[in-house]
Structure 1
Amino acid sequence: MVMMHVVVAGAGGIGGAIAGEVALAGGEVSVIDAWADHVEAIRADGLCLVGPGPAEGRTARLPAWHTSESQQVAPIDLLVLAAKAFDNQWLAPLLAPQLATDATVISAQNGVNEPLLSQMLGPERVIGTVVLFAAAATGPGQVRLDWLPTLQIGELDGTLTDRLDQVSSALGPGIDVALSENIWGAIWSKLVMNCMSNPVNATLGGQARDCREQPGPRRVSLACGSEAVAIGQARGHHIEPVSGIDAERILVGGAGGPGADQLAADWEATAAELGDVKGSMPTDIERGHKTEIDSFSGFISREGKRLGIPTPANDAVFHMVREIEAGARSPGPHNLDELLRVLG
């Protein structure tokens, strides 16, 4: 099998972890990033990966390019988009000329990005992807992995193809890659989980596990999840379990229907799997960065309006995060009562 040239665009936590592990496993991989200090550090000293857990640091040597130098990158066989989802509008067209004729594109990002990428780069190039690990850039040239790097990939029409095997081989053995015949169900499951945690925690502060362990945040979390499941089912998706919990249970119990108490207990029991992860959106707010709220609660709100399905919990979280971004509100526990009032 011919080695694929993998290019990771956005070498932060997730992208840096993917690129570093592929390089350490002997793959042909380059990174492109807009953070000049990060690029220069990788060029000078390599990309240092630490974790998961107390693992010793390891350094990957690989080509690094600033986005302004993208035209110098060799033809791309596999493009891994790992910048923030809102950057796809300009990043995908920027890299399009560097794509090989039969290039494959995956989105190692939050949200539902495959339709937009299909429009911009061609539907024949795009396969679905779900990121199933957490990582963070801790400084120029440095990435911390919180979980083992794991991805789920699948053709958008649900077929199993040789291309999926090729992508899996190009990313492995450094990355654990699972093939899916229901990638839309997996993508939506990740979206439901994100809506239940990232934006809610962004309004309240604290850690991601708070939305599962604490009664008030948990109620908001489950309501957001119920709405997201309803939207996904209306779109025709068979949603995969969310942290091991059947999506139908979240739909019904999250709205206060039968099984609500057991659902709350089961959702609380999943908190330990999160460890001390804070979440990307609360971290973005702390750093004064733009969040991906449009890809989470905002997306559910827009789809709800389009489909005629009420989404009051996601609407409230969306507007609250927007106010926090604008400096009109601060994150913290004081926002909880307002969110609970929306739920009645």
Structure 2
Amino acid sequence: MHTVVIGIGGVGGYFGGKIANSGQKVSLVARGEHLEVIRQKGLKVRSIEGDFVTRPFLVTDDIHKVKKADLILICTKSWQIQEATEFIKPILKEDTIVIPLQNGADNAEKVMSVIDKKHVLGGLCKIYSKIEAPGIISHFGHTPEVIFGELNKNKSDRLQSVKTVFDKAGFKNKISGDIQVDIWSKFMFIATVSGLGALTRATIGEMYENLELREVLRATATEIYEISLAKAIEMPSSIVDGIMTFINKQPFDATASTQRDIMEGRPSELDNFNGFVVKEGKKLGVDTPTNTFIYSCLQPMEAKARMPKN
């Protein structure tokens, strides 16, 4: 299997690096100084589960130099996914599998708006990681895991082909029986902690420890649960309590990548998180006052971050 990873940040760098380090054929699509350092020195991953340096089959910023792919992992930010999907068209074969691993609830839909749905699996990952420096990925929290599955809940042969790649790479992975439930469960967590974390400048532990902020976290998650039900996602009735328990188990000093992006003045996934909840609420007739407040407070910062630089 030839695996191509688009976007070599914390997610793509870690999982792409693990696949390459297991001796499998991997092409990484990166850019800038990050690309040049990986070309010269290999991709270095500093991980709480063990450091390694790997030299993938190919590292490039030119998609036309990449051989046709059996498996493509799209690991850009969620607001870049449609552009990334256009980008991969030259390396698609009839049976190429494409899995988006971004945070967000509608990534598979975005991919299918650009390429034939036959290529697409639903997916998500769980990891705390980031680019520490050009050519260096830091994995600093959570046992890394990828969850994936057919969007129609079928148990296809190609799921096992993907699992074989991930198993050989040596990271935790699971074929989902209902990938939409898994995607929305992850989305509920990440959207809940990201927006409020950016607004308060607080860590996950600090927010949960504060009783008032804990109630805001719960209200945010509850609105997302109500949106999921309106979209006929078969979420368990206990999911909000489960998400709150999960939040409480996170490292006290942990922050989400979207929170860090907003705090550092970079374009973020705000529109794909709290903004998505607000938009879907309006469309579906579901009130989202907590998400609306968080999104409205942060949106001016997001707009400023996206202004053209002189």
Contact 2:130 2:138 in 1 (8 A): yes
1:88 paired with 2:91, answer: no
- Larger displacement relative to structure 2 (209-218 or 18-27): 209-218
Q: Distance in 2 between matches of 1:197 and 1:322?
A: 16
Contact 2:203 2:252 in 1 (8 A): no
Q: Radius of gyration: which is bigger?
A: 1
Contact 2:201 2:263 in 1 (8 A): no
Residue deviations 1:101-131 (CA, integer Å, cap 9, x gap) = 2100001101121111112111111011121
1:99 to 68, 77, 92: 92
Aligned to 1:58: 52
Judging changes above 3 Å, is the alpha-carbon distance between structure 1 residues 178 and 278 closer, same or farther for their aligned structure 2 residues?
same
The amino acid of 1:307's aligned partner reads L
Contact 1:201 1:210 in 2 (8 A): no
- Number of aligned positions between the proteins: 302
1:139 paired with 2:137, answer: no
Judging changes above 3 Å, is the alpha-carbon distance between structure 1 residues 176 and 208 closer, same or farther for their aligned structure 2 residues?
same
Aligned to 2:292: 315
Q: Distance in 1 between matches of 2:137 and 2:146?
A: 18
Contact 1:23 1:62 in 2 (8 A): yes
Q: Distance in 1 between matches of 2:26 and 2:171?
A: 13
Stretches of structure 2 lacking an aligned partner (at least 5 in a row): 306-310
Judging changes above 3 Å, is the alpha-carbon distance between structure 1 residues 66 and 87 closer, same or farther for their aligned structure 2 residues?
farther
Judging changes above 3 Å, is the alpha-carbon distance between structure 1 residues 207 and 64 closer, same or farther for their aligned structure 2 residues?
farther
The amino acid of 2:248's aligned partner reads A
Aligned to 2:15: 18
Q: Distance in 2 between matches of 1:6 and 1:172?
A: 14
1:129 paired with 2:123, answer: yes
Q: Distance in 1 between matches of 2:144 and 2:190?
A: 18
Q: Distance in 2 between matches of 1:179 and 1:274?
A: 26
Q: TM-score, normalised by structure 1?
A: 0.83
Judging changes above 3 Å, is the alpha-carbon distance between structure 1 residues 189 and 272 closer, same or farther for their aligned structure 2 residues?
closer
Q: Distance in 2 between matches of 1:280 and 1:240?
A: 27
Judging changes above 3 Å, is the alpha-carbon distance between structure 1 residues 100 and 45 closer, same or farther for their aligned structure 2 residues?
same
Residue 138 of structure 1: how far off its partner (Å): 0.4
Judging changes above 3 Å, is the alpha-carbon distance between structure 1 residues 219 and 140 closer, same or farther for their aligned structure 2 residues?
same
Q: Distance in 1 between matches of 2:236 and 2:193?
A: 17
Secondary structure at 1:71 match in 2: helix
Q: TM-score, normalised by structure 2?
A: 0.92
2:264 to 279, 284, 287: 287
Aligned-pair identity (%): 27
Aligned to 1:157: 152
Q: Distance in 2 between matches of 1:179 and 1:16?
A: 22
Stretches of structure 1 lacking an aligned partner (at least 5 in a row): 251-262, 329-344
